[in-house]
């Protein structure tokens, strides 16, 4: 859970699993994640290759249970959040008042926010909820009771300029509203936003938002291509995140290099 005094998280995204196919990459990622003794492993969606199903999610649950790791799961645009409670447990229960899986959680004594973008757009209620949380945290930062660095986990990126084809075809609706909320608290908070969706490794900063796109655990996409093009030479991987009192540092782990 702790490494050199820092809390460790592992970020896995876009495994795009299919029940009938080999899950070697997923098992590799869980095995490697365990070596870091993370406070939590966060999987930010697109668990399913095309469309989520209960047999698929139940098999994922088996893998997660065998790993012994603390895990949090967010749905992506290929997932079906309505199946998450039955597959992954009561933590994922929804109700009519709040049908999305937006959450404020604690991991290793650190607060973090999970934002559900499975619908491909941010709901106004989610943005208002997110704003209220940041307002509270910013107040805590001003009086010294909350850290400046805040981890946020989400499937879709909110900053553009990362992937030409994906941004043209599968952008996050209402992303600008979330960016505006984050930047409203630029004096008090640095938002470390961990996402996937684009199937590429990218770190992009604008004002107080640092966006970390983590590579897919399936296939990587050419971020500069005008058409969809997979890059077989690019390896899958996951991101290790180290959160200390005054900083957040990350490194991408791949099969051949270990660390990239």
Query: Residue 53: which CATH number?
Result: 3.60.21.10
Total of domains in the chain? 1
What is the C-alpha to C-alpha distance for residues 113 and 99, in angstroms, rounded to an integer? 17
> Is the residue at 164 inside a domain?
yes
> Is the residue at 259 inside a domain?
no
Residue 8 pLDDT greater than 80, yes or no: yes
Please give the pLDDT value at position 96. Answer: 83
- The pLDDT mean for the chain works out to 95
> Is the residue at 120 inside a domain?
yes
CA-CA-CA-CA dihedral for 138, 45, 244, 142, to nearest 10: 0
> Is the residue at 258 inside a domain?
no
> Is the residue at 96 inside a domain?
yes
> Is the residue at 260 inside a domain?
no
Note down the domain range covering 61: 2-253
> Is the residue at 31 inside a domain?
yes
Chain segment 186-217, per-residue pLDDT in tens: 999 999 999 999 999 999 999 999 999 999 99
In the chain, what percentage of residues exceed pLDDT 70? 97
Q: Assign 260 a pLDDT band (cuts: 50, 70, 90).
A: very low
Chain segment 107-132, per-residue pLDDT in tens: 989 999 999 999 999 999 999 999 99
140-153 average pLDDT score: 94
Residue 228 pLDDT greater than 90, yes or no: yes
């Amino acid at each position: 859970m702790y490494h050199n005094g820092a809390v460790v998280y592992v970020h896995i995204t876009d495994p795009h699993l299919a029940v009938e196919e080999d899950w070697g990459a997923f098992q590799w990622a869980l095995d490697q994640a365990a070596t870091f003794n993370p406070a939590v492993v966060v999987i930010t969606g697109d668990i399913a290759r095309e469309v989520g199903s209960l047999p698929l999610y139940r098999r994922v649950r088996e893998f997660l249970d065998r790993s012994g790791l603390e895990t949090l799961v967010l749905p992506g645009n290929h997932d079906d959040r309505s199946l998450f409670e039955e597959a992954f447990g009561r933590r994922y229960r929804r109700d009519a008042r709040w049908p999305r899986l937006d959450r404020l959680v604690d991991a290793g004594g650190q607060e973090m926010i999970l934002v559900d973008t499975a619908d491909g757009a941010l709901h106004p209620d989610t943005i208002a909820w997110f704003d209220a949380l940041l307002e509270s945290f910013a107040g805590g930062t001003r009086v010294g009771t909350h850290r400046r660095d805040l981890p946020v986990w989400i499937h879709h990126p909110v900053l553009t300029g990362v992937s030409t084809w994906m941004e043209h075809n599968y952008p996050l609706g209402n992303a600008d509203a979330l960016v505006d909320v984050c930047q409203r608290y630029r004096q008090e908070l640095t938002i470390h936003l961990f996402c996937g969706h684009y199937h590429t490794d990218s770190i992009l900063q604008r004002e107080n938002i640092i966006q970390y796109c983590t590579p897919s655990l399936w296939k990587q996409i050419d971020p500069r291509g005008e058409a969809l093009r997979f890059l077989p030479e690019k390896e899958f991987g996951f991101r290790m995140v180290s959160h200390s009192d005054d900083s957040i540092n990350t490194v991408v782990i791949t099969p051949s290099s270990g660390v990239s």
